[in-house]
Each structure stands twice: as structure tokens, then as C-alpha cells.
Amino acid sequence: MVEGAEQRARPLSLLRKGPFARLWWAGVVSSFGDWVALFATIALADQLGGVTGILVPLSARMLPGLFGAVSGVLADRFNRKFTMITADVARAILVLSLVFVDNLAMLFLVSFLMETLTLFWQPARDASVPNLVPPGRLVAANSITLVATYGSLPVSSAFFSFLVTVGDWLPDLGGFGVGFGPAFTFDSFTFLLSAFLVARIPIPKPEVAEHRKAKGASDWRAPLRDLADGVRFVVGNPGVRNVIVGMATALFGAGIFFILGQPFSRDVLGGGNTGFGVLITSLGSGVGGGMLVLATIGSKIGRRDLAFAISLILTGAAITMVTTMSSVFGAAGWLFIAGIGAGSSYVMGYTHLHEQVSDEMRGRTFAALYTLARTSLLISIALGGVAAAALDGILPPPFDNGIRNALAIGGAIVLSAGLVTLWNLRGTLSGPEFSEETYRTLKDASDAFTSVRGQRRSPEDRK
């Protein structure tokens, strides 16, 4: 008993051995390489088309989310391990082709195809996590996974700079040794390494219920029925719907900061590019800190949905306060708090979905989350600059600046998402708080009872 408690207090013990440890390392390697390639892609787009050209790969990365629900059907119907390996190998080939891209049209196409494959990889991975994590460790697993994914951002940025320098030293090797070639080549290698690690993981195949099986090889309607069932499940389940809509709405508000953060630092706070680095570092530190704290104590929080709503409220309120600041360091302090809330909401939202959704429906649920989240982010990035220009000079000081106004609206949207989620939970707040172990025990007992009951029914009763 004491040993179990010690293991729960040490989230990094999940990484010592076992299938989750391999999946975690596969995600870390792949994410690190993908960050490097993202920097290289943006730099290549800037080289090909200037500031306008940068929007090409960013748009290409957002658009696949509009039809990402299809990937959830694949994750719930077919071999998840095979899906992940195939996506990794295909992305390795595609990112390597960027070495030879010399126009924005090809850059858009390759970026679009890569992000489409990512949308197939992610639901398969997220649907598999609860099957690979010991009971009671989901919060810790999600925390260290998200910390590794986003915590590698500053390290990958520095490594990208190193690879660019290496490219300047190397002779021209057909594109691989100059410019951004080494960065794309490195990312290709990370995808292949991820595929190798995933291949060694015993990921169980999703069980397809009898009524979901295709009636013959030509029954193309079976996946469509899966898609319709997934939509009905997400829309009809309040606990799942609240979290997905809350996360998508929050990303809509947060996306405005990502597009206007640098001009806010430069033109409003007078901090220049250095100031923007301070803001991003502060936000990232808060996100990582919040996730690490939850990795240790998160299993003690029984109501994941309530913690998710409160975290969103904290994030929105902090972002709103950022817009009232007149100095970089004042804004950085509030952004640190916003990061804590954002990291906590992400972990709690993911864990709530993992616990509340069965394995049969999990891929479609996470695909719905990615679809709404990416669509919201794309819309907010597109509208951020327009809103800043439209709101400039309308209100009295200190809100006579359009950038400040647009960021304030973004914070208010995140805050509203948290308040609406909390309001939707009002009918359940007086209910008991169950731990993850309790949920698993009740589910196992229910499954066992159903199985025994089915075996004891006579053939006459079954007719």
C-alpha cells in the first residue's frame, strides 16, 4: 500500500518501463522533431514569400482539422498501432521532400498532407493511452505527456538554430546540407524513430461491436454509421460536450494572443522582440508548472470537469488582466498565471475525456475535439488582425489601442467559456466525487454483472 502511494507521488515512474513509457518516448521524439520542422517551414515560407508567405504553411496546418472527424472513425475501427506506424513513415517521407520545395504551392501541399496524417496519428494515440496506463495514473500520464510535448518548444528552437548553422558549414549535398535541409532531414529521422518505438508497443486492437461490423466488403455505410454515432455521442453527452466545446472556445480566445502577442509586446508595451520572448517564456513556464503540479497531486482531484472549468476561468481572467498592463514584466506575471490555468485545463480536460468515454468511442471523441479546436484556432488567427484594426481608436484610453482591445476580447472569450462550463455543471456539483479508481471499479463490476447475466440467460430467454 505504501509502495503504491509512493509510485503515485512519482509521476516520472511511469517512464521507467512498460508500454506507456515507449508511447511517451515516441511522442517526445516526434514532437521535438516536428517543432524543429515547424520553425524550418516558417523560415522557408518567409524566404519564399515574406510575411504573407508565412500564412501559407500555418493555414495548411489548420485546414485538415475541418474534416478530422474521419480520423476518429479509423481509430475506433482499425488497428491503432498500424495507423500510427503508417502515419509516421508517411510523414517521414513527406517532410524529407521539403528539402527540395522551392515554391509556396508545394509548401502548402506538403504541409497540408503532413497535418492530415498527424490528425490520424493523434486520435489513435490518445485513444490508446488509458489502455496502457496503470489504474489511478491517468492525470500523471497526461501531465507528463503534455509537458514533454510543449516543454520541448524552447529546446527545439535552439536546436533548429544549431541545425541552420550546421547547414551553413556543410557542402551542398543536393539540398540536404544547405539552408533548412538538415532540419527537415532530422525531423524525418524522428518520425522513423517514433514508428520503431510504436511498433514495440502491445496496443490492443479496438473491439468492434457486432452491430458496427460491415455486412460484406462493399458495405461502405459502416464507417458512415460510426461517424454519425460519434456525432450523436458527443452532442448528446453533456459531460463530454461541455469539455470539448469549452476547450475549443478557449483556443479561439487564446489564438488571438498568438497572432497579436508580438505586436502587443512591440507596439503597446514597448518591449520589442526581446519583450515578446519574455512573455512567451513566462506563459510556457506557467503551462509547464501547472502540468507538473497536477502530475503529482492531480489524482486527488475527484471532479475533473469542475477543475477544468475553474482552470478556464483563471486563464481567461489572467489574460484579461494582461491587457491592462503597461510594462512587459507586469504582463509576464499575469501570463504566468494564465499559463498555469491553461496547462491545468488541458490536463483536466484530457483526463476527463479519457475517464468518461469508453474505448469503443474514444477515437471519435478526440477527433471531434481536434476538429473543433483547430477550426476555432484557425478562425481566431484569421480574425485577430482584422479585429485589432477595427477596434483601434474606438474606446477611451487605456483601451484606445486595437491590439489591446482584441486581446481583451480573447481573454473575455476564455473567461466566458469557463463560466459557461461551470454553469452547465451546476446540477452535478452536489453529487459525490469519485476517484478514477472508483470509476474503474464500478465499470468493471458493471461489465462483470452484464457478462454473468448474459451467460445465465437460457436460449429461450434470448429469443
pLDDT, greater one: 263 or 330: 330
CB neighbour list of residue 7: distance below 8 Å, 6 or more residues apart: 13
| Residue at 35 is within a domain | yes
Judge if 351 and 423 occupy the same domain.
yes
| Residue at 217 is within a domain | no
Judge if 148 and 108 occupy the same domain.
yes
pLDDT, greater one: 115 or 258: 115
Judge if 198 and 238 occupy the same domain.
no
| Residue at 423 is within a domain | yes
Judge if 152 and 226 occupy the same domain.
no
Averaged pLDDT, 187-205: 90
pLDDT, greater one: 211 or 5: 211
CB neighbour list of residue 112: distance below 8 Å, 6 or more residues apart: 60, 61, 63, 64
Given a cut of 90, whether residue 125 has pLDDT beyond it is no
Take residue 343 and report the three cell numbers written for it: 496547462
CATH number at residue 366: 1.20.1250.20
Judge if 44 and 183 occupy the same domain.
yes
| Residue at 454 is within a domain | no
Domain boundary among 141, 176, 203: 203
Q: Write b or e for each residue in 193-215: b if 16 or more Cβ atoms lie within 10 A of its Cβ, otherwise e.
A: bbbebbeebebeebeeeeebeee
* DSSP per-residue letters across 355-385: HHS-HHHHHHHHHHHHHHHHHHHHHHHHHHH
| Predicted confidence (pLDDT) per residue in 212-257, tens digit | 555 544 455 666 777 777 778 878 888 888 888 888 888 777 777 7
Which pLDDT does position 307 carry in this prediction? Answer: 85
Averaged pLDDT, 200-207: 80
Which pLDDT does position 190 carry in this prediction? Answer: 93
**Distance, CA of 95 to CA of 114 (rounded, Å):** 8
| Residue at 216 is within a domain | no
Q: Which of 95, 145, 143, 139 is nearest to 117 (CA)?
A: 95
pLDDT, greater one: 154 or 5: 154
Judge if 187 and 336 occupy the same domain.
no
Judge if 135 and 183 occupy the same domain.
yes
| Residue at 451 is within a domain | no
Take residue 158 and report the three cell numbers written for it: 535552439
Lowest mean pLDDT among 339-343, 395-399, 428-432: 428-432
Structural domain boundaries enclosing 304: 222-427+438-444
| Residue at 47 is within a domain | yes
* pTM for the whole structure: 0.72
| Residue at 20 is within a domain | yes
Judge if 357 and 228 occupy the same domain.
yes
Domain boundary among 142, 169, 203: 203
Judge if 67 and 149 occupy the same domain.
yes
Given a cut of 70, whether residue 199 has pLDDT beyond it is yes
Number of domains in the chain: 2
Among 1-15, 45-59, 78-92, 435-449, top mean pLDDT goes to: 78-92
Domain boundary among 137, 170, 203: 203
Q: Which of 408, 273, 279 is nearest to 331 (CA)?
A: 279
Judge if 80 and 197 occupy the same domain.
yes
Contact 279, 334 (CB under 8 A): no
Judge if 124 and 255 occupy the same domain.
no
Judge if 187 and 256 occupy the same domain.
no
pLDDT, greater one: 55 or 7: 55
pLDDT, greater one: 11 or 400: 400
Query: For residue 118, how far is the Cα from the chain centroid?
Result: 11
